[in-house]
Structure 1
């Protein structure tokens, strides 16, 4: 396939083997090395790490990009420069793929000057609605400095609560980082950075396999992914997906996605819980696991979505890949010495017939909103021979320019424009299929808090594990693009799933860390909307613990525990209403409800709950109920040493809840000042008595 990319030095010709410690003196390109390390829970930090790897490569560093747990502390002593990109998750914890590294870094055997030769810089991703905002990143920086490492440039931080997300802070920070690297690690005389318009050959690319099923003759290291022991699976294509969905046409294929370490689950039911005329579609998914997995409250399931065949075919047609979209491919390494792992390393492709269509259906996120780096990559594949080509290339460079923030925001984020729609605009552009693993982002698994617990974790026969998920289907309107509906990539996939279908899910313990020892104290569970999912799991698990441990008498096994639930109205989206009614009557659970769009009712809330029978006529939010029941909240948390769990949407809700609880301490405490009340909440958090999980 012909490419319009500008000729330029390939990756291996730009940087070669060698080490260097950096410094004020210029370092020859053959000795400059950069190690980009990321800790990522959902993939955002990994995306930024890839962008930083491109930056250092253009500055003539031989670059390696890996997750933190893939390296040892000894590896930190080798590179000229280390760049960390770390997300903060849960209650200020490190992501799953960074925890081992953090434990190693905190070893008491390390001396104060152990890392004195290391020079590093770091960027953190966090959410300011959490009290421990970006704390994992800050702890990492502090520990590196404590061990003698030198910080080349001030640390940067991105905030998910910013209107443009974490990318706003990153765009500003990376501009300053580039300037600082140029000053701290000057290039040798006569050597200049590789220009942004020069194409860098990626370490990994695709190549068509030979028609007889054997590997073709290729340069570099070949990673065979297509054939194992002579077995070939049939290609996945739109032709094999005949099942229809009323709103979206042909649905994604039902093949099991071969994610390493994941579980296969059979869908028992996919039930809508919200009223048919309600604006939001919220589903309760009931899944049966084929393998045992013992989970507890706070655990999360990771759903791996797929793209719809019609969208995949549109993309293939736009790129003019029709003639080879279903032909077998190999993934090859182009580097003489492999630096970064394969982009498909998370998949077991031993028995997969790898094709472009399979990748577009299962791996490549063509329905996501593109990042700035995407446009920077596209600019290499459009020429300037015609006026239209020149215009489109100029436009791509504008969208890739980190200084033109508003341009990117107005074109992508504000209208929620997808990559597929971008390619419809840039008609002169054709991506060479060899580079799709580098140019197109990967589909990320989406995390959902598990809503089942206790006895609900087993099927009726007690032989198989079950997992229930409460999922709000994302169908956001676009103020600009009217002709094509907006969808959440994962929730659109979830809405198409049918009972009996098998899907791939990941399972993780989560961060709430709920234990049976907590049964000795009452808990206040605050979960508006779908935030009630982990609270439901917790309620049923505490009920099971009370029964098995004989801690409380029958009829009082949930006495003292309070669920505070908020939603729009009792009739539209009051999830598990009958279930709460039953637990109130049978086991003494207390339920407080807050309706932000109340309807006149003679039975507002749950019958038998503390709220009682009354008429609901005014808007209420969960923080209002905390004030309303101030004395009970104070007794639970101060006198009885109880615990608080807050789950749901991030943003104003968690902050308002925290402020309301501090208000209660001031109102009901013995001469407790506001500063003391806020300090008491901080102590609760440090002691594990105040936990938050929001999204």
Structure 2
């Protein structure tokens, strides 16, 4: 069998130098920990891990909940990358660690031998910007840990996102690392041009026919030889038959949907899809779906809970990528994921990139990974181009040009170049590889050179009586807007949201695995005496629907409120384009308003028969009722929907209401009152 490599030159890997310096750097250990909800903090952690390895640290990258507190004292250096989510809360994969860190049993000074620094990722449209990161740093200092580098922070509201702050901070981090942990004599840092061997690679399965495995070993795929990428790249790609790469030129070309086999995610729930209905008008520009699932076992969730859907890539895109990479001959062969380094003396074993999957019952192939695990349809990040440059050649004019272009896109100082090439046209990784035709990634490095698919979170729209069906099965409903944005530049190929495109293919009766998380709204039955003001434009209505029905059910079960008044005082402010196109669940709101006292106010921004309005306009218009609910009756505010201008505009509207209707509060005092609501958990915001 021939092994697909690269037509270009090989990355610079000097195993001899690394081996000679290993003894001198054995005590240089680094642990990089992340708490991440959408993957951004994980990306930061992995980039810090690559920097640490270049500075000759034995670096391990893990999520926070994967470590014990005592592990922190085993490493010379700890770096945290932490997102703030919800209302200043820890991400799901950092909550257990944070709970342990808050234990009253921990003595002051218990972490005095620990040297750390951190980078926080936040969104300044949230009132408690980067609070989780700051709390973590404060608690570590209380326990005696010492910071060796000033912490950094990134803001998603910056035009360049969190990358702007991170780009500045990582320069400071490198300087601090070299000053605090200087390299041993006669040991130099690895240059940016030198390839970092990943800790895990793909290899032909040992369970295959012996002759096939022998072929693979003869071509340098034996990961125990230490020959690394040089051996892989010297494979006989030039002996492969030429493959014509077919590009789709029809925007509406019929697509074969992905396979119906559930992605085998650990700790997930098998969900049976009962319905996948469009709930916007047929002539409306946006397709919004209401998905109705039944879980295979009971799960008790509250308002604000989220379901995690694991997307798949389409077979046509997978085939196209395989052809571009010239992976045809290996695409359907069984593979193993194996460690490349087992004798580094690391304090902990680097986790497998596929540790979140249960692969015991199936054979893993390149084709399966590309459909279920590897994200080839996302917009690439800067680190992708940096990795790709190692596989670029320079023996021809085209190869030299493409390598130079990759280095430009990987340069953190040329962020506008990256924006114009990737984010602005929404160019995918597949399309990038169509441009860089001289480069083929060796299949052994697919899991490290390409990003992995992450599950997408969707707020659950069901609550109260909608949480179970007539048979007692757990019911989960999702309100999902299908992302199908036009590109001002790439017009020959449609743009799609990776997950929502997959969602459009799901058919009733199909089963998928979904994750379940409680979310951050933390709505409780003992809060019924105080009213709520719910602001949910667009699909931000989903958690508000769950909350409304759940509060109605709790009121009925407690029996303290008579029928007809169970939602009296509760206020829902909903915004959409028009009542005829995307006025979700309007029959339910009408019924609850007439029978249980719910106050519902709508804002239509594109309704032909009414002036343009947004939710903040309705908050001001209904200021008297809202003031009574949140000030006189001590009510709570919940805001859900798109991040950016909406949450800021809504907060300004609440400030206007407090200042206008109190009769005595100044603008500064109104601001102080809203701040106190946030600190008391009475003002909660969940945006995306």
- Tell me the TM-score normalized by structure 1: 0.90
1:248/1:41 Cα in 2 relative to 1: closer, same or farther (>3 Å)? farther
Residue 294 (structure 1) aligned to one of 286, 300, 303: 300
1:393/1:328 Cα in 2 relative to 1: closer, same or farther (>3 Å)? same
Deviates more, 1:153-162 or 1:636-645: 153-162
Task: Measure, in 1, the Cα distance between the counterparts of 2:536 and 2:43.
Answer: 31
1:75 aligns with 2:71: yes
Whether contact under 8 Å (1:17, 1:31) holds in the other structure is no
1:303 aligns with 2:313: no
Whether contact under 8 Å (2:257, 2:314) holds in the other structure is yes
1:15/1:405 Cα in 2 relative to 1: closer, same or farther (>3 Å)? farther
1:395 aligns with 2:388: no
Task: Measure, in 2, the Cα distance between the counterparts of 1:403 and 1:176.
Answer: 15
The answer for the alignment partner of 2:630 in structure 1 is: 637
Measure how far apart 1:100 and its partner are.
1.6
Task: Measure, in 1, the Cα distance between the counterparts of 2:21 and 2:682.
Answer: 52
Residue 265 (structure 1) aligned to one of 236, 248, 271: 271
1:160/1:213 Cα in 2 relative to 1: closer, same or farther (>3 Å)? farther
Deviates more, 1:284-293 or 1:112-121: 112-121
Contiguous gaps of at least 5 residues in structure 1: 19-27, 222-244, 601-616
Residue 337 (structure 2) aligned to one of 315, 331, 334: 331
Contiguous gaps of at least 5 residues in structure 2: 226-250
1:681 aligns with 2:674: yes
Deviates more, 1:436-445 or 1:6-15: 6-15
* 3-state SS in 2 of match to 1:347: coil
1:558/1:453 Cα in 2 relative to 1: closer, same or farther (>3 Å)? same
Whether contact under 8 Å (1:302, 1:445) holds in the other structure is yes
Aligned length: 646
User: Deviations along 1:496-526, whole A, 9 cap, x unmatched?
Assistant: 1111111111000000001111111111111
Whether contact under 8 Å (2:12, 2:193) holds in the other structure is no
Measure how far apart 1:112 and its partner are.
3.1
Measure how far apart 1:183 and its partner are.
2.8
Measure how far apart 1:300 and its partner are.
0.3
Residue 592 (structure 2) aligned to one of 580, 583, 600: 583
Equivalences for 1:13-412 in 2 at 5 Å?
Answer: 13=18, 28-210=24-206, 212=208, 218-220=222-224, 248-337=254-343, 339-412=349-422
- Tell me the TM-score normalized by structure 2: 0.91
Measure how far apart 1:80 and its partner are.
1.7
Whether contact under 8 Å (1:295, 1:509) holds in the other structure is yes
Residue 567 (structure 2) aligned to one of 551, 555, 558: 558
Task: Measure, in 2, the Cα distance between the counterparts of 1:247 and 1:526.
Answer: 40
Measure how far apart 1:475 and its partner are.
0.9
1:545 aligns with 2:554: yes
Measure how far apart 1:246 and its partner are.
7.7
Equivalences for 1:444-483 in 2 at 5 Å?
Answer: 444-461=454-471, 463-483=472-492
* 3-state SS in 2 of match to 1:249: coil
Measure how far apart 1:16 and its partner are.
8.3
1:248/1:470 Cα in 2 relative to 1: closer, same or farther (>3 Å)? farther
* 3-state SS in 1 of match to 2:361: coil
Whether contact under 8 Å (1:15, 1:60) holds in the other structure is no
* 3-state SS in 1 of match to 2:378: coil
Whether contact under 8 Å (2:303, 2:543) holds in the other structure is yes
* 3-state SS in 2 of match to 1:173: helix
User: Deviations along 1:42-65, whole A, 9 cap, x unmatched?
Assistant: 222112111111110001011111
Measure how far apart 1:363 and its partner are.
0.2
The answer for the alignment partner of 2:452 in structure 1 is: 442
Measure how far apart 1:9 and its partner are.
3.5
1:498/1:75 Cα in 2 relative to 1: closer, same or farther (>3 Å)? same
1:591/1:652 Cα in 2 relative to 1: closer, same or farther (>3 Å)? same
Task: Measure, in 2, the Cα distance between the counterparts of 1:149 and 1:15.
Answer: 33
Residue 9 (structure 1) aligned to one of 6, 14, 17: 14
Task: Measure, in 1, the Cα distance between the counterparts of 2:292 and 2:69.
Answer: 43
1:431 aligns with 2:441: yes
User: Deviations along 1:422-466, whole A, 9 cap, x unmatched?
Assistant: 1001100010000111111110100000001111111123x2111
Whether contact under 8 Å (2:208, 2:334) holds in the other structure is no
Task: Measure, in 2, the Cα distance between the counterparts of 1:502 and 1:155.
Answer: 45
1:15/1:691 Cα in 2 relative to 1: closer, same or farther (>3 Å)? farther
1:16/1:274 Cα in 2 relative to 1: closer, same or farther (>3 Å)? farther
Measure how far apart 1:109 and its partner are.
3.0
Measure how far apart 1:33 and its partner are.
1.1
Higher relative contact order (CA 8 A, sep 6+): 2
Task: Measure, in 2, the Cα distance between the counterparts of 1:14 and 1:286.
Answer: 56
* 3-state SS in 1 of match to 2:79: strand
Measure how far apart 1:146 and its partner are.
2.3
Task: Measure, in 2, the Cα distance between the counterparts of 1:364 and 1:14.
Answer: 32
Task: Measure, in 2, the Cα distance between the counterparts of 1:387 and 1:569.
Answer: 56
The answer for the alignment partner of 1:25 in structure 2 is: none
Task: Measure, in 1, the Cα distance between the counterparts of 2:414 and 2:481.
Answer: 34
1:597/1:14 Cα in 2 relative to 1: closer, same or farther (>3 Å)? farther
Whether contact under 8 Å (2:32, 2:80) holds in the other structure is yes
Whether contact under 8 Å (1:17, 1:62) holds in the other structure is no
Task: Measure, in 2, the Cα distance between the counterparts of 1:90 and 1:12.
Answer: 47
Residue 656 (structure 1) aligned to one of 634, 639, 649: 649
Residue 502 (structure 2) aligned to one of 489, 493, 506: 493
Task: Measure, in 1, the Cα distance between the counterparts of 2:201 and 2:302.
Answer: 41
User: Deviations along 1:69-101, whole A, 9 cap, x unmatched?
Assistant: 122222222222111000111111111111121
